[in-house]
Amino acid sequence: MSLVPSLTKSQKERHHELIRKYCADAFGTCENTSIELIGNGREKGVYEVNRPNQTLVATAASKNPEDRLLEEYNVLTELYEAVPNRFPRPFGHYRPEAAETLGDLLVMERLQHEDLNKFKRNNSASSGFRRELSHTLGYAITEVIEESNRYMSDPHDGNIMVQDNEDSINLKFCDAIQFLSGSYETGIYSLLDRSERPESYRFIKDFRDGARKYFMEEQDLDSYEA
C-alpha cells in the first residue's frame, strides 16, 4: 500500500483556522483550546481538540477545501447507531460560511485506542497478539456486516483501532467512508486479502472461529480460504 503523504503547512494552518472557527461558533470562544494533529489519511487530517472539561476529535478536509465530509458523517452515524461498540461516536458535521476556502469538519469522539500502525511502533504486544487479533477481526467484521450491512473495504493498519488488554483485544474501526454496502462473503474476503491483513490468513482457524463466535453456532466457513 502506498504511503499517505503528510499534510502541508498550509493545510494544517487552514485546519487550525477551521477548528478555531468551529469552537467559536459552537462554544462562543476558542480560549484555552489546544489543537494537536494525531493523524491523516488521503483526504483529511485528524486533530485532537482539547477544551476545559471536554475532548473532541475534529476531522478536517485536507487536500481540497471543496471536498465534503457530510457523506462520511452520515455513514459514521449509521454505523454507530447499528454497532456503537465498534465506532467512535459522531458529534456533528460543521460547514462554515467560508467553507469554499476552509473546508468542512466532522466532529467525533476521541477514542483512547491506537491505530495498529501506532500500536506496533509504541507497544510491546502481549504474547499471542496476532492470533488474538485474527480472532477478534473475524468476530468484529461479522458483527458489523450483520448489524449494518456494511463491510470494511480498506482494512489496513490505519483504519483499525486497538487496546491490548493482555487477555483480550478491544477493537474499533475508523474511517467510516470506506465501509461499503455489500455481502458477508465480500466482507470476509476483504480481510483475507494477503496484502492487507496477513494475520487473518496466517491464523485462518482463529479468524473463522471469531466469525463463528458472533453467530453463537456452527457456520460453514471452511470454504473461505486465503
Condensed to tens digits (0 to 9), the pLDDT of residues 92-149 reads: 999 999 999 999 999 999 988 888 888 887 776 666 888 999 999 999 999 999 999 9
Identify the bridge partners of residue 59 per DSSP, sorted by sequence position. 46, 106
pLDDT band at 217 (very low <50, low <70, confident <90, very high): low
pLDDT top residue among 222 and 41: 41
Judge residue 211's burial from the number of C-beta atoms within 10 Å of its C-beta, 0-12 exposed, 13-18 middle, 19 or more buried: buried
Condensed to tens digits (0 to 9), the pLDDT of residues 171-196 reads: 999 999 999 999 888 988 888 888 88
Among 138-142, 204-208, 216-220, the least confident range: 216-220
Condensed to tens digits (0 to 9), the pLDDT of residues 17-37 reads: 999 999 999 988 888 899 999
Output phi, psi for 205, to 5 deg. -65, -45
Distance CA 69, CA 77 (A): 12
pLDDT band at 39 (very low <50, low <70, confident <90, very high): confident
Exposure string of 16-35, with b = 16+ CB inside 10 Å and e = fewer, is bbbbebbbeeeeeebeebeb
Which DSSP symbol is given to 103?
-
Output phi, psi for 83, to 5 deg. -140, 70
**What are the CA-CA distances from residue 127 to residues 14, 134, 203 (Å)?**
43, 14, 14
Condensed to tens digits (0 to 9), the pLDDT of residues 51-75 reads: 888 888 888 776 788 889 999 999 9
pLDDT top residue among 188 and 41: 188
Distance CA 90, CA 34 (A): 20
Confidence check: pLDDT of 4 > 60: yes
Output the pLDDT for position 76. Answer: 97
Confidence check: pLDDT of 2 > 70: no
Confidence check: pLDDT of 211 > 60: yes
